[in-house]
Structure 1
Amino acid sequence: MDRPESRCPPPGSLRLFVLACLLILTAVLTYPMLRTISLWFHSSLTRSYVSGTYSIVFVNYPNEQIARDVARAILDKKLAASVNILPKTSSLYFWKGKIEESTEILLVGSSF
Protein backbone atom coordinates (compact mmCIF):
# COMPACT_ATOMS: atom_id res chain seq x y z
CA MET A 1 0.00 0.00 0.00
CA ASP A 2 1.23 3.52 -0.86
CA ARG A 3 2.14 5.87 1.88
CA PRO A 4 -0.03 9.06 1.85
CA GLU A 5 2.99 11.36 1.65
CA SER A 6 4.18 9.67 -1.57
CA ARG A 7 1.08 10.87 -3.48
CA CYS A 8 1.59 14.58 -2.66
CA PRO A 9 4.13 16.71 -4.51
CA PRO A 10 6.93 18.19 -2.45
CA PRO A 11 5.81 21.49 -0.83
CA GLY A 12 8.40 23.58 -2.70
CA SER A 13 7.33 22.41 -6.18
CA LEU A 14 3.69 23.39 -5.61
CA ARG A 15 4.72 26.92 -4.65
CA LEU A 16 6.94 27.13 -7.72
CA PHE A 17 4.08 25.95 -9.95
CA VAL A 18 1.62 28.49 -8.49
CA LEU A 19 4.20 31.27 -8.82
CA ALA A 20 4.89 30.34 -12.46
CA CYS A 21 1.13 30.31 -13.23
CA LEU A 22 0.66 33.74 -11.63
CA LEU A 23 3.61 35.14 -13.54
CA ILE A 24 2.27 33.83 -16.87
CA LEU A 25 -1.24 35.12 -16.11
CA THR A 26 0.13 38.56 -15.19
CA ALA A 27 2.18 38.72 -18.40
CA VAL A 28 -0.82 37.75 -20.56
CA LEU A 29 -3.17 40.23 -18.89
CA THR A 30 -0.76 43.19 -18.94
CA TYR A 31 0.67 42.66 -22.45
CA PRO A 32 -1.69 45.11 -24.26
CA MET A 33 -0.99 47.86 -21.73
CA LEU A 34 2.78 47.25 -21.78
CA ARG A 35 2.81 47.25 -25.60
CA THR A 36 0.94 50.54 -25.75
CA ILE A 37 3.26 52.14 -23.20
CA SER A 38 6.36 50.90 -24.99
CA LEU A 39 5.10 52.21 -28.38
CA TRP A 40 4.30 55.57 -26.82
CA PHE A 41 7.71 55.69 -25.15
CA HIS A 42 9.54 54.78 -28.37
CA SER A 43 7.53 57.32 -30.37
CA SER A 44 8.23 60.12 -27.89
CA LEU A 45 11.95 59.34 -27.69
CA THR A 46 12.50 59.11 -31.44
CA ARG A 47 9.91 61.80 -32.26
CA SER A 48 8.55 59.57 -34.99
CA TYR A 49 5.28 57.91 -35.89
CA VAL A 50 5.06 54.24 -34.95
CA SER A 51 2.81 51.99 -37.01
CA GLY A 52 0.02 50.59 -34.91
CA THR A 53 -0.55 53.78 -32.95
CA TYR A 54 -3.46 56.13 -33.59
CA SER A 55 -4.03 59.81 -32.99
CA ILE A 56 -7.09 62.01 -32.95
CA VAL A 57 -6.75 65.80 -33.15
CA PHE A 58 -9.45 68.33 -32.28
CA VAL A 59 -8.85 71.90 -33.53
CA ASN A 60 -11.24 74.87 -33.60
CA TYR A 61 -11.21 77.34 -36.51
CA PRO A 62 -12.94 80.73 -36.77
CA ASN A 63 -14.96 79.78 -39.88
CA GLU A 64 -15.83 76.84 -42.11
CA GLN A 65 -13.73 77.96 -45.10
CA ILE A 66 -10.49 77.96 -43.09
CA ALA A 67 -11.40 74.57 -41.62
CA ARG A 68 -11.98 73.16 -45.15
CA ASP A 69 -8.67 74.57 -46.41
CA VAL A 70 -6.76 73.04 -43.51
CA ALA A 71 -8.60 69.71 -43.92
CA ARG A 72 -7.70 69.55 -47.63
CA ALA A 73 -4.04 70.37 -46.89
CA ILE A 74 -3.90 67.64 -44.23
CA LEU A 75 -5.40 65.08 -46.60
CA ASP A 76 -3.20 66.18 -49.54
CA LYS A 77 -0.09 65.59 -47.44
CA LYS A 78 -1.54 62.25 -46.21
CA LEU A 79 -1.19 63.34 -42.60
CA ALA A 80 -4.62 61.94 -41.72
CA ALA A 81 -6.90 59.18 -42.91
CA SER A 82 -10.02 61.30 -42.48
CA VAL A 83 -11.07 64.74 -41.35
CA ASN A 84 -14.52 65.72 -40.07
CA ILE A 85 -15.81 69.28 -39.91
CA LEU A 86 -18.48 69.90 -37.30
CA PRO A 87 -20.27 73.24 -37.61
CA LYS A 88 -21.10 75.69 -34.85
CA THR A 89 -19.06 74.71 -31.84
CA SER A 90 -19.50 77.00 -28.87
CA SER A 91 -16.23 77.76 -27.07
CA LEU A 92 -15.81 79.41 -23.69
CA TYR A 93 -12.29 80.32 -22.63
CA PHE A 94 -10.19 82.73 -20.59
CA TRP A 95 -8.63 85.57 -22.55
CA LYS A 96 -6.75 88.38 -20.81
CA GLY A 97 -8.33 87.57 -17.45
CA LYS A 98 -11.94 87.48 -18.72
CA ILE A 99 -14.21 84.66 -19.82
CA GLU A 100 -14.87 84.96 -23.55
CA GLU A 101 -17.38 83.09 -25.70
CA SER A 102 -17.28 82.46 -29.44
CA THR A 103 -18.76 80.24 -32.11
CA GLU A 104 -16.19 78.21 -34.01
CA ILE A 105 -15.94 75.30 -36.44
CA LEU A 106 -14.51 72.06 -34.99
CA LEU A 107 -12.14 70.04 -37.18
CA VAL A 108 -11.51 66.41 -36.11
CA GLY A 109 -8.72 64.49 -37.78
CA SER A 110 -7.72 60.88 -37.27
CA SER A 111 -4.47 59.27 -38.39
CA PHE A 112 -3.88 56.01 -40.20
Structure 2
Amino acid sequence: MDRLDSLCPPAGYPRQFVLLCFLILTATFLMYPVLKPLSLQLQASVTGSYVSGTHSVVFVNCPNEQIARDIARAILDKKLAASVNILPKASSLYFWQGEIEETTEILLVGSSFR
Protein backbone atom coordinates (compact mmCIF):
# COMPACT_ATOMS: atom_id res chain seq x y z
CA MET A 1 0.00 0.00 0.00
CA ASP A 2 2.93 2.34 0.66
CA ARG A 3 4.09 1.91 -2.93
CA LEU A 4 0.67 2.83 -4.27
CA ASP A 5 0.60 5.89 -2.04
CA SER A 6 3.98 6.99 -3.36
CA LEU A 7 2.68 6.86 -6.95
CA CYS A 8 -0.32 9.05 -6.19
CA PRO A 9 0.10 12.80 -5.80
CA PRO A 10 -0.36 14.32 -2.34
CA ALA A 11 -3.89 15.25 -1.30
CA GLY A 12 -3.33 18.97 -1.94
CA TYR A 13 -1.89 18.36 -5.42
CA PRO A 14 -4.17 19.78 -8.18
CA ARG A 15 -5.65 17.11 -10.41
CA GLN A 16 -5.57 19.51 -13.35
CA PHE A 17 -1.76 19.60 -13.15
CA VAL A 18 -1.55 15.80 -13.24
CA LEU A 19 -3.93 15.70 -16.19
CA LEU A 20 -1.92 18.40 -17.99
CA CYS A 21 1.32 16.45 -17.46
CA PHE A 22 -0.33 13.29 -18.76
CA LEU A 23 -1.62 15.11 -21.86
CA ILE A 24 1.78 16.65 -22.58
CA LEU A 25 3.53 13.29 -22.31
CA THR A 26 0.91 11.61 -24.48
CA ALA A 27 1.12 14.35 -27.13
CA THR A 28 4.92 14.15 -27.15
CA PHE A 29 4.78 10.38 -27.60
CA LEU A 30 2.25 10.68 -30.44
CA MET A 31 4.22 13.49 -32.13
CA TYR A 32 7.53 11.55 -32.10
CA PRO A 33 7.25 10.38 -35.75
CA VAL A 34 6.84 14.02 -36.81
CA LEU A 35 9.41 15.50 -34.42
CA LYS A 36 12.27 13.09 -35.23
CA PRO A 37 12.75 14.11 -38.91
CA LEU A 38 12.43 17.77 -37.96
CA SER A 39 15.09 17.42 -35.28
CA LEU A 40 17.40 15.59 -37.73
CA GLN A 41 17.00 18.38 -40.29
CA LEU A 42 17.64 21.01 -37.63
CA GLN A 43 20.77 19.21 -36.47
CA ALA A 44 22.03 18.88 -40.06
CA SER A 45 21.45 22.56 -40.81
CA VAL A 46 23.07 23.75 -37.57
CA THR A 47 26.13 21.49 -37.77
CA GLY A 48 26.42 21.52 -41.56
CA SER A 49 26.81 17.75 -41.64
CA TYR A 50 24.93 14.85 -43.16
CA VAL A 51 22.70 12.97 -40.77
CA SER A 52 21.85 9.34 -41.39
CA GLY A 53 18.12 8.80 -41.53
CA THR A 54 17.53 11.39 -44.21
CA HIS A 55 17.03 10.98 -47.96
CA SER A 56 19.77 11.81 -50.43
CA VAL A 57 19.91 12.03 -54.21
CA VAL A 58 23.22 12.42 -56.07
CA PHE A 59 23.71 13.35 -59.74
CA VAL A 60 27.06 12.47 -61.39
CA ASN A 61 28.01 13.16 -65.02
CA CYS A 62 30.35 10.60 -66.61
CA PRO A 63 32.23 10.81 -69.92
CA ASN A 64 31.08 7.39 -71.16
CA GLU A 65 28.84 4.46 -70.24
CA GLN A 66 31.64 2.14 -69.09
CA ILE A 67 32.87 4.63 -66.50
CA ALA A 68 29.26 5.22 -65.40
CA ARG A 69 28.78 1.46 -64.88
CA ASP A 70 32.06 1.15 -62.97
CA ILE A 71 31.12 4.02 -60.64
CA ALA A 72 27.58 2.64 -60.15
CA ARG A 73 28.92 -0.81 -59.22
CA ALA A 74 31.46 0.68 -56.79
CA ILE A 75 28.74 2.77 -55.11
CA LEU A 76 26.45 -0.25 -54.75
CA ASP A 77 29.28 -2.56 -53.58
CA LYS A 78 30.04 -0.14 -50.74
CA LYS A 79 26.30 0.21 -49.99
CA LEU A 80 26.48 3.98 -50.38
CA ALA A 81 23.21 4.04 -52.34
CA ALA A 82 20.04 2.01 -52.50
CA SER A 83 19.92 2.29 -56.29
CA VAL A 84 21.75 3.93 -59.18
CA ASN A 85 20.13 4.81 -62.50
CA ILE A 86 22.21 5.30 -65.64
CA LEU A 87 20.60 7.74 -68.07
CA PRO A 88 22.31 7.84 -71.49
CA LYS A 89 23.02 10.88 -73.61
CA ALA A 90 22.67 13.83 -71.28
CA SER A 91 23.68 17.04 -73.07
CA SER A 92 25.92 19.30 -71.00
CA LEU A 93 26.83 22.89 -71.69
CA TYR A 94 29.51 24.52 -69.54
CA PHE A 95 32.30 27.07 -69.48
CA TRP A 96 35.81 25.72 -70.04
CA GLN A 97 38.78 28.06 -70.29
CA GLY A 98 36.54 31.00 -71.07
CA GLU A 99 34.62 29.25 -73.84
CA ILE A 100 31.21 27.58 -73.87
CA GLU A 101 31.60 23.84 -74.46
CA GLU A 102 28.92 21.29 -75.29
CA THR A 103 29.32 17.54 -74.76
CA THR A 104 27.21 14.42 -74.48
CA GLU A 105 27.61 12.65 -71.15
CA ILE A 106 26.09 9.78 -69.21
CA LEU A 107 24.11 10.81 -66.11
CA LEU A 108 24.13 8.72 -62.93
CA VAL A 109 21.32 9.26 -60.42
CA GLY A 110 21.91 7.59 -57.07
CA SER A 111 19.42 7.55 -54.22
CA SER A 112 19.78 6.55 -50.61
CA PHE A 113 17.12 6.27 -47.92
CA ARG A 114 18.85 5.64 -44.60
Classify the TM-score, shorter chain.
Answer: 0.5 to 0.7
TM-score, scaled relative to structure 1 = 0.62
Query: Which runs of no fewer than 5 residues in structure 2 stay unpaired?
Result: 1-30
Identity over aligned pairs, percent: 70
Aligned to 1:47: 49
Q: What TM-score comes out, normalization by structure 2 length?
A: 0.61
Supply the AA of the counterpart residue of 1:82. Answer: S
Kindly indicate whether the alpha-carbon contact (under 8 Å) linking 2:56 and 2:112 is maintained by their aligned counterparts in 1: yes
Q: Secondary structure at the match of 2:52?
A: coil
Query: Are residues 39 and 99 of structure 1, via their aligned partners in 2, closer, same or farther at CA, if it must alter by over 3 Å?
Result: same
Q: Is the 1:56–1:110 contact (alpha carbons within 8 Å) kept by the matching residues of 2?
A: yes
Q: Which amino acid aligns with 1:84?
A: N
Q: Partner of 2:76: helix, strand, or coil?
A: helix
User: For residue 65 of structure 2, what is the aligned residue in structure 1?
Assistant: 64
Partner Cα distance (1:96, 1:72) in 2 = 32
How far apart, in 2, do the equivalents of 1:64 and 1:40 lie?
35
Whether contact under 8 Å (2:89, 2:104) holds in the other structure is yes
Aligned length: 79
Task: Check whether the contact 1:43–1:50 (CA below 8 A) recurs between aligned residues.
Answer: no
Aligned partners of 1:90 and 1:103 also within 8 Å:
yes
- Which deviates further from its counterpart, 67-76 or 42-51? 42-51
The superposition leaves residues 30-78 of structure 1 with CA deviations (integer Å, 9 ceiling, x where unpaired) of x67x81xx42342352734321x10101110000000000000000000
Once the two structures are superposed, the pairs formed by residues 7-46 of structure 1 within 5 Å of their partners are: 35=38, 38-43=39-44, 45=47
Aligned to 1:80: 81
In the other structure, the counterpart of 2:99 is 98
